[in-house]
Structures are given as structure tokens and as C-alpha cells.
Amino acid sequence: MWYLSPHFVLFCPFRDVIIIIYHLNKPSFYSFAVMKAQKRRSCFVFFLLHMIHIAWTQRFQVVGPSSAVLVFVGQDVTLPASLSPAMSAQWFEVRWFRDDLFSPVLLYQNLQIRPERQLQAYKGRTSLFLEELLNGNVSLRLQDVRVSDGGLYKCLVASGPYDEEAHITLNVEALGSQPSISLSTTEDQQPRLECSSEKWSSRPEVSWRDMNGIDVTSQSKLTFKRDIEGLLNVSSLIPIKKEFNVFSCLIRSNTTKPAWQSKMGVYVFSPGVSGWSVVFWLSVVLCVATAILLVLKWQRMKGTS
């Protein structure tokens, strides 16, 4: 018996020659052949052919991004992966999976995608760039991203007895709903405003400003609750005085990206004040809010230039 490589074992009994090929590293990629021969020299012929096959096997690496890929819920995303050095992957096996090797997100095998082998949750949402396989592009295209899609993905590429894989992390962000502001009172009849928003994947920043543009966030109390989908519902309470004022609540994603997503709500507290005054001060606060957003946008553009 000879051990030809980490992937193959060759048995040569005295009379009959039985050759078994078994891939030890990945149990999903294996083949075996049983061959009987009258002469013992057939074993050595096969040994020679096998060594030539190993020598000719194309060696490569699967290269993915050095950092996580970011996408928002409902968008499409590409998980980049390619062969290095660049070579055709058309005749290779390409397997994208998460935890279970045998339950792939997508499987490309024998020159075609095998939808019957993939996870039900990904059917109709995944694809490869088939025309780019000739250039070694084995990237995965994922459509209509869901919160549950976030996490680690593995891209395994196999050519005969040789295989390599890359790991790619997908971070999925969900921007919450437009914030709404409502008026309520405490047990001691103290008026307060509540700014609330639903369906955030990570904790956003919440800030309050009054009609003079003064930041009053320090006076507020912020709470988070997760719903059955695992998303965050945000609530911020701030006490107010019994006098005319206009408050704005700004909710902003903490996600690092060139253009932060912001959502704003405006509330006018005006006990005993005429409608015209309310309209006037509401216009003022809207102008202030617009100016704030323009300044933030200008700062982002300046920071990315």
C-alpha cells in the first residue's frame, strides 16, 4: 500500500490490483475507482499517471475582500471572490455556503448551477457571473437582502483533488421608519414628548433640538427594544415646559459610510397660542432643520473629497 498524497490512497494486493481514490480533506468532493488487473505492473502505471496528474493540477487561491461587505435591507449585493492567479473556473466546482458544506447558498457543478441543492431561503436570489468564470471571477450575487442574510459566507472552489476557500462577512443594516413625535404627560402631569422609530438593525443616534437650535438631548431618556424579527424599536422621551416651543428629533444611523442616513420629526408645543404663530414658528424650525442637514451634507462631502 502506498500513500500517494493527502488526498489519495493506493492499495496493491498481490494478485488483483484495487485502486481506491478518496479525497480526505473535503468529504463532499470524492471519487473512487476500482480496477482489477492481471499484472502487478498496472499498479505502477497508475502510480505514474497519478503523479503526473498531481503535477499538472492547477494551483490557485480564492481571494476575497479584506473587510466586511455592507448592504442595507432590500438592496442587492455582490460578495466578491476571485482566483489568484487569474484562470478559468468554468470547469471547476464553485460552492458558496455558510455553516453547512452540504447545504450551499449556491452550487456550480458540471458547468451549471444546481438549484435543487441550495438552501430554500436563497432560491431565486443568488447567481454567479457566468461569463466572468473564464476570468476567475467566482463572486456571488445576492438579491433582495434580508436581515437574516447577515453573517459569514464561505466560497469553496475545487479542481480535482485540489481546493481552496475564502471567507467573506456580510453586514446587513436596516434603517428604521420615519420618526414620529407624540405628546403625553407623566403621573405628576408633566408634559413630555416621545420620539419613536421602528425596525433598526443597530442602535442609531438620537438628538433633540429646540426652536433656537439648542441641543437638548441631554435632557432626554433613550430606550431600545427588540421585536420578534430581532430589529430594534427606538424611543426617546424628553420633558418640556408649558410654554410655546418647537422641537425636532433627529435619528441618524451609526453605520460608517460616506452618506449617513438621517430622519427627522418636528413637533410644535403651543398651549394657548394662535394658529398663525404656530405656522410662523414651524416655518422657522423647518428652515433651521434644513440648514442643519445641509451643513451635515457639506461636511460629509468635504470629508470624502
Domain residue spans of the chain:
2-56, 61-172, 180-304
Q: Looking at residue 122, what is its pLDDT? A: 95
Length of the chain: 305
Question: What is the torsional sign of CA 192, 198, 203, 206?
Answer: negative
Average pLDDT of each block of 10 consecutive residues along the chain (305 residues)? 39 43 39 43 58 59 94 93 93 94 94 92 95 95 93 94 93 87 84 90 89 90 89 92 81 66 63 52 64 64 56
In terms of Cα–Cα distance, which of 81, 85, 84 is closest to 108?
Answer: 81
Cell numbers describing residue 63: 481571494
Q: Looking at residue 297, what is its pLDDT? A: 62
Interior CA angle at 138 toward 136 and 143, to 5°?
A: 150
Could you tell me the pTM of the whole model? Answer: 0.60
In terms of Cα–Cα distance, which of 61, 68, 170, 89 is closest to 122?
Answer: 170
Q: What are the backbone angles phi and psi of residue 60, rounded to the nearest 5°? A: -155, 170
Cα dihedral: 132, 138, 143, 146 (round 10)? -170
Q: Looking at residue 14, what is its pLDDT? A: 39
In terms of Cα–Cα distance, which of 136, 96, 104, 144 is closest to 120?
Answer: 104
Q: Looking at residue 118, what is its pLDDT? A: 92
Q: Looking at residue 202, what is its pLDDT? A: 85
227 Cβ contact list (under 8 Å, min separation 6)? 198, 199, 233
Q: Looking at residue 230, what is its pLDDT? A: 81
Distance in angstroms (rounded) separating the CA atoms of residues 163 and 26:
9
Q: Which amino acid is at 45?
A: V
Q: Looking at residue 62, what is its pLDDT? A: 95
Q: What is the DSSP letter of 28?
A: T
Distance in angstroms (rounded) separating the CA atoms of residues 265 and 193:
11
Architecture of domain 180-304: Sandwich (2.60)
Do the two domains 61-172 and 180-304 of this chain adopt the same fold? yes
The tally of CA atoms less than 13 A away on the side-chain side of residue 185 is 6
Question: Domain 61-172 maps to which CATH number in 2.40.40.20, 3.40.1160.10, 3.10.20.30, 2.60.40.10?
Answer: 2.60.40.10
Q: Looking at residue 211, what is its pLDDT? A: 84
